[in-house]
Amino acid sequence: MAFDRQGSLLTLLLTALVTVLVAASLMTGPAHLGAETVAKSLFSDQGVASIIVRDVRLPRTLLATLIGATFGVAGAALQGLLRNPLAEPSLFGAPQAAAATAAGLMAFGLVSPVSLAVPLGGITGALLSVGALVAIAGRRASLTMTLLAGLALASLAGAAIALVLNLAPNPYIALEIAFWLLGSLRDRSMIHVWIAAPFMVASWVVLAANARAFRALTLGEDAATSLGVNVGRVRIWVVIGVALGVGAAVSVAGAISFVGLVAPHLVRRFYGSDPARTLLPSALAGAALLLAADIIVRLVPGPLEIKIGVITALIGVPFFIAMIFRERQVLEESA
Amino acid sequence: MKPDLAPRLRAGNLTVRRGARIIVADANLTLNAGELTVLAGPNGAGKTTLARAMAGLLPSQGSLSLGGTTLAAMSVRERARTLAYLPQGHEFHWPMSVEHIVALGREPHADPFSQITPEDRAAIQTAMEATTTDTLATRIVTTLSGGERARVALARALATQASVLIADEPIASLDERHQLIVMDLLRGIAHQGAAVLAIIHDLTLAARFADRVVLMNEGRIIANDAPIAALTPERIAQIFNISVHRIETPDGPLLIPSRAL
């Protein structure tokens, strides 16, 4: 159908955009390195330039790409499952829950910040939060129920974070956690990439495998079931997929919010609303958004780098409010 | 007129409970190939619950067999190819085009990576033409009127080309003309060999189009017979608590409600 060809072209353009942003991200930083130097430093040993490009800029570029894509897919998948354009992991405290768990583990010296236990902790936290949302929102997953459940869970995750900060053994750790919660890709190494990437890739695979089910779910659960979708199983897989991705992302980069809301919404304008069709473009758009945000934080002058989570929230919150206005009619009908 | 009357979907002593309450009690109902069965009854009689249970969408006690196989033993995909279900209300959550919605009816036939086949395309086209939704193909479903949506929903269910079709209130929001078109269509599908169950409220249409009428009240099947035999004024009074005027016409009896009892 007509969307197919247009869709492939758009996907190509989005991929090109991500590639350009990856290059821009590798060239952005306090040390001025030309395009040629960056390219050479990446693939061969150029001394200090190589250290900057490979050890400082490459990890944050890769993480921005992977994490942005993960949030994009997670948002699109949750929206597909809940049939609701306002669904987003951070709205029900998934990143916060992941952060609280991961931060708790580190604060009390249980694990080192670069051990595999951190993403596992983050995934567990996210699993609890996503699972609770899907369970509370229930079969019909109405807009009101979803938002109310999200509100409750986000508050609970906030309380859990406060508890970790309260009980932190010393003020330095508390401060470090507080900063980490704002989300940042600064000072990450390739170790962080290797720790988180497998979980994020696994989450993409799990969520993409359910793409067709999201499409059938547009007809409601009964019709989807009658079309051969095992809705209960889909629900469990989406919870696992989102938790794997969000938990791993948050445990290396802190709480980054609203990419999962904004990315699917942006691509829907161009790709149409078929939830199966928005997964890949949402991933690309999410990667582009986070890469752009991470370039912005490095370009803003000042003694301290602005946290990337602040940027995404500053863009995401007004966007979310605008969407609530658009959905107001539906909200009022279901109230 | 009826090619064969082989049982396609058979419910034996089907009981559905919600908590302690019994919603459907000991229902015995067989849907035969070649027959349009209309299920009618007052609000809250348990019609939708019975239909959902027969489609395997609700846990129930008793036996359910689809084409001779126990329904629970079939894979969801196998069941989806054999039995199409059209829920009440016609939900469309995303603003997708009509042709995309109707194409969802082919999902049970698709393997995970397959593209739309010529056979799929033909089934989609046939379903859209039969429901007069082919002119709406590129329209966005959420912008359509209630009646148009109802026809799109039916087209989606028809596109599966299943041998059993269960439709919950397929004509509820349609204008008179489309009610007649859809009833004629459902009967046509049945007479081509499918087993069709439709829940409808209009007793005149039931009498006119159905091969068999099943009446339910308070969770029980009260009548299961040819339309004329099932829809007697006495039984209508007993089940619906209304009196009706029955006027014979060349197209069959007209049942006009006169007053509530």
Q: At what angle do helices A143-167 and A171-181 cross, to 10 degrees?
A: 160
User: Is any Cβ of chain A less than 8 angstroms from the Cβ of B137?
Assistant: no
* Terminal Cα distance for chain B, rounded: 38
B93/A228 touch (CB, cutoff 8 Å), yes or no:
no
Sheet holding B69-70, edge to edge: B21-32, B7-18, B61-66, B69-70
Please tell me which residue of chain A has the smallest CA distance to B99. Answer: A1
Look up tokens 């900057």; give the residue: A52
* Chain A neighbors of B91, CB-CB under 8 A: 218-220, 223
- Distance, in Å, from the CA atom of B242 to the CA atom of B261, rounded to the nearest integer, reads 5
Q: What are the pLDDT digits (tens) for A282-323? A: 999 999 999 999 999 999 888 888 888 888 888 888 888 887
Interface confidence (ipTM) of the complex: 0.91
Residue A256, pLDDT > 90, answer no
Question: Which chain B residues are Cβ-neighbours of A273 within 8 angstroms?
Answer: 94-96
Q: What gap in Å lies between CA B155 and CA B99, rounded to an integer?
A: 10
- Alpha-carbon distance of B85 to B64, in angstroms, equals 15
CB A151 within 8 A of CB A280: no
A214's tokens? 């999201």
A-interface mutation test, from B91, B165, B199, most A Cβ less than 10 A away: B91
Range of the domain at A154: 2-41+49-334
* Length of chain B counted residue by residue: 261
Chunked into runs of 10 residues, chain B (261 residues) has average pLDDT values of 71 93 95 96 95 94 92 90 93 92 93 80 94 94 92 96 96 92 94 95 93 95 93 91 89 86 83
pLDDT at A4: 63
Q: State the amino acid at position A270 in one-letter form.
A: F
Any CB–CB contact under 8 A between B104 and chain A? Answer: yes
Given an 8 Å threshold on Cβ–Cβ distance, is B77 in contact with A274? no
- The 10 Å Cβ neighbour count of residue B66 is 25
CATH topology of domain B7-232: Rossmann fold (3.40.50)
Helix (H, G, I), strand (E, B) or coil at B83: strand
Could you tell me the pLDDT band of residue A139, with boundaries at 50, 70 and 90?
low
pLDDT-above-70 percentage for chain A: 93
Interchain CB distance below 8 Å, A222 and B52: yes
Helix A2-27 vs helix A259-271: angle between axes, to the nearest 10 degrees? 140
> Tokens for A244?
């794997």
- Report the alpha-carbon distance of residue B59 to residue A88 in Å, rounded: 32
- What residues of chain A lie within 8 A of the CB of B94, using their CB? 83, 218, 273-275
Mutate to test the interface with A, among B77, B79, B93 (most CBs of A within 10 A): B93
Q: Do A219 and B83 touch (CB under 8 A)?
A: no
Query: Quick check: A324 pLDDT over 80?
Result: no
Total tally of structural domains belonging to chain A: 1
Contact B85 A272 (CB under 8 A): no
Q: How far is CA B169 from CA A74, B160, B180, in A?
A: 36, 18, 14
Query: How far does B188 lie from chain A, in Å, by closest CA?
Result: 22
Can you tell me the distance from the alpha carbon of A107 to that of A111, in angstroms, rounded to the nearest whole number? 9
b/e A13-36 (16+ beta carbons within 10 angstroms → b): ebeebbeebbeebbbbbeeebeee
Q: Is B76 on the interface with A (CB under 8 A)?
A: yes
Q: What is the SS3 assignment for B85?
A: strand
User: In this complex, is the C-beta atom of B108 within 8 Å of any C-beta atom belonging to chain A?
Assistant: yes
Per-residue confidence (pLDDT) for residue A154, from 0 to 100: 86
Rg of chain A on CA atoms, in Å: 20
**Cα distance between the two ends of chain A:** 37
Tokens in use for A315? Answer: 């863009």
B112 touches chain A (CB under 8 A): yes
The residue ranges of every structural domain in chain B are: 7-232
Residue window 45-74, chain B: list those with CB within 8 Å of chain A.
52, 55, 57
Neighbour tally for B46: CB within 10 Å: 22
What CATH number has the domain bearing residue A231? Answer: 1.10.3470.10
Q: How many CB atoms lie within 10 A of CB B62?
A: 15
